[in-house]
Chains A and B, each alone.
Chain A
Amino acid sequence: MKPVRLMWGVCALFFVLMAGVTVFSVRRDYARLPQVELVLARPEGDNTYTVPLAAVREDEEGRTFLLFVLEEDGPWGKEYVCRRAFLKPLRLDPEEGTALVAGQDLCRYPIAGRCESPLAEGRRVRFVTEGRP
């Protein structure tokens, strides 16, 4: 084979490999994202909402917060990222598995519910199913 053809082949192979690595890397990255159940806050009037207990999280200092799941730009398209909002539940109902929280526009964004691994501010996630409070 002529050296030039060989080199064009090497060039083509390099880019094909890079394309393959890219597809693998993006798919692997997606597969490793924690699966999260999305929930929507149910309005109860007077800026109060009912959310599942699983959506109310606590940090090391004992502060409670909700994680809203927002759509943001990622390297290969839209990504879903957890953004934290601190709030104190007004009432907990362990039997029903819900909590009453107060705040403005809490139903604007979906909230991260049950998840297979601990979630934190800025963590990228993927969805399982939409849950109901």
Chain B
Amino acid sequence: MMRKDRALAPLLLPSALGVALFYLLPFFLALRQSLTGQGGGFSLARYGEALGNPMFRLGAGNFFLFALIAIPAATALSLGLALLLRGTGRGFSLLFFALLLPFVVPSGSTAFFWNSVFGLNGFINRLLFQNGLEIVLWDSSRWSILIPVVLYLWRFCGFFALLFFVGLRNIPEEYYEIARLEGAGRFTLFRKVTLVYLAPTLIIVLLLSFVCTFRISRELFMLFGKYPDQNLYFFQHFLNNQLGSMNLPILCAATVLVTLAAALAVLPLWRAGKRGSDSFVMRGEGNRAYRPRRQGGGHTLLVLALAALFLLPVLLTVSNSFMSPAEVTGRYSAAVLPQNAGGLARGGLHFVEPALLPAQGTVRQYAAFLLEPAYLRMFWNSVGMTLPVVLLHTAVSVTAAYAFFRAGSGGMRGLFALYMLLMVLPVQVMITPQYVFFRLLGLTDSWLPVMLPAIFHPIGVYIVRLQLQGFPWECIEAARLDGAGEGRIFSQVVLPNLRGSVLLLLLYTFAETWNLVDQAVVFIRDGYRLPLSVFLFGMLQGDLGLLSAGSVLYLLPPCLFFITCLLWFRERREES
């Protein structure tokens, strides 16, 4: 190890120890278990069993198809949104807010909305019926794979658009001016300037969109349960169901197989990203960023329509929470009831009647929710889990990212590549090794198995490391010449300039931890220790009014936090 790397060790140590303990060690335990035969000797039989399992193959195939559609669609759509954002003057803040809100909204809060879109009596079938077309059982039709694609686009496109937007702002205006002077049209400008200088961002978006594809299983579980139609059965269902029946050896083999597949998928992206980052051009302080020209009314209308589309699930959830139980039942029930007898129906099937304003507003659902101590306990469980994870994860990630940024040895680069691989592994894949590990330690049925892996998740290091790529080395050299040590350079030179990535990391970690379901269900047995996200997750078949009120209360903290972070970031930018 180089001398400089040794000086950086204290900054890297907490993260490296956490990753080794809660990711690598559990993975090796799972690897060992997967290679152990029934007699205790070496055997590959578990892999044969996993690969031969028709449900595993079905889940893997469906997931592959989903990723194949979702990743290019999300990339194209988010690039389009970023270009729209870049050209937006009026309505920028609204569109920015609307695009990013789905990313922080808990899955349970909007499950009811999606159910009322894709259900048999849902909004799409209502439109088909009104236009004289045959209604479709969406979750078992041949188009059902589009359901997770739509959910994925709604949830993550805004986040990717933000990344593209930052990338676009880093392209100096001069490049466009020169190209224009040479007679380039709009399409040529896009192809020869925008796309070329956006390539590193494109790789990052592709990598993160791959990571996020695994996260859509939460919504699928919520909408269609553990055993959905065969077109919607993903390998995450297989892993969860096998874990439910405690079939650990096959699970461990499946975990290793998925890890290998993820490594193979990510390796080319990582190499391309590394090449891209080496030649990444940052807009210098002296260069102007692209500035939007004055836009017409059509553009503003488009911006407002898009903002409304992205906000619609949240707005309808808020509206439902102020309806009386009878009104909610009447509007969303599939059965024809006295209270919805005048609504649109076909052969005893009543179609949903969503409304942005309740007929008779009431806060009874909120009162019912807030007067139940068990719900409040779960709300505070969520707070108790989220706050330490957000703070510690940010601290550990920022210091480790700085150590990786400053380190020069091949060993550190190899370690960072390992972080990247662990980063892309889905939660459901790592749950099995972590379950084996925490069971050995006797730590199941507590918050620790949920919180510790979240605190040391490598994605935070990656996000901060991304911003550090553009950090000017001259500042660090100047500080070193003035006699500053690594700790001082980090705290007084680098850290104050990391606001953007720290903000993104805070938001990302808050949204992820506030929204966690899988880990809590596996590790926490005592119902009173579960976070509210799990309760909302299982409440879709219960009292819909109560679910809406709980959903709104549950999405308030991430929304408030999100708005505060945005305002704080804007204020700091204006100050500097």
Whether B372 sits at the interface, judged by CB under 8 Å, is yes
Q: Would A7 and B564 be within 8 Å (CB), given that A14-B556, A75-B528 are in contact?
A: yes
Distance in angstroms between the alpha carbons of A118 and B290 in the assembled complex? 74
Q: Which of A10, A11, A25 makes the CB contact (< 8 A) with B372?
A: A25
Distance (Å) between the CB of B569 and the closest chain A CB? 9
Number of CB contacts from chain A to chain B under 8 A: 54
In the bound complex, do residue B376 and residue A21 qualify as a contact, i.e. CB atoms below 8 Å apart?
yes
Complex interface residues of chain B between 339 and 386 (CB less than 8 A to chain A): 370-374, 376-380, 383
Whether A120 sits at the interface, judged by CB under 8 Å, is no
Distance in angstroms between the alpha carbons of A91 and B192 in the assembled complex? 99
Q: Which residues of A contact B372 (CB under 8 A)?
A: 25
In the bound complex, do residue A25 and residue B379 qualify as a contact, i.e. CB atoms below 8 Å apart?
no
In the bound complex, do residue A7 and residue B376 qualify as a contact, i.e. CB atoms below 8 Å apart?
no
The size class of the interface chain B forms with chain A is 20 to 34
Distance in angstroms between the alpha carbons of A125 and B377 in the assembled complex? 20
Q: Which residues of A contact B376 (CB under 8 A)?
A: 18, 21-22, 25-26, 75
Q: Which of B377, B560, B567 makes the CB contact (< 8 A) with A76?
A: B377
Q: Which of A8, A15, A29, A76 makes the CB contact (< 8 A) with B564?
A: A8
Whether B568 sits at the interface, judged by CB under 8 Å, is yes
Distance in angstroms between the alpha carbons of A118 and B397 in the assembled complex? 57
Distance (Å) between the CB of A38 and the closest chain B CB? 23
Distance (Å) between the CB of A33 and the closest chain B CB? 11
Q: Which residues of B contact A25 (CB under 8 A)?
A: 370-373, 376
Interface of A (DSSP majority class): helix
In the bound complex, do residue A75 and residue B371 qualify as a contact, i.e. CB atoms below 8 Å apart?
no
Q: Which residues of A contact B560 (CB under 8 A)?
A: 7, 10-11, 14
Distance (Å) between the CB of B282 and the closest chain A CB? 27
Q: Would A28 and B371 be within 8 Å (CB), given that A2-B571, A3-B571, A4-B564 are in contact?
A: yes
Distance in angstroms between the alpha carbons of A7 and B562 in the assembled complex? 10
0/1 per residue, B539-576, Cβ < 8 Å to A?
00000000000000000110011011001100100000
In the bound complex, do residue B373 and residue A18 qualify as a contact, i.e. CB atoms below 8 Å apart?
no
Can you pick out 5 interface pairs between chain A and chain B where the beta carbons lie within 8 Å of each other?
A: A7-B567, A11-B561, A18-B380, A25-B370, A25-B371
What 11 additional pairs, Cβ within 8 angstroms, besides A4-B571, A22-B380, A76-B373?
Answer: A3-B567, A7-B563, A8-B564, A14-B556, A21-B370, A22-B373, A22-B376, A29-B371, A75-B376, A75-B377, A76-B377
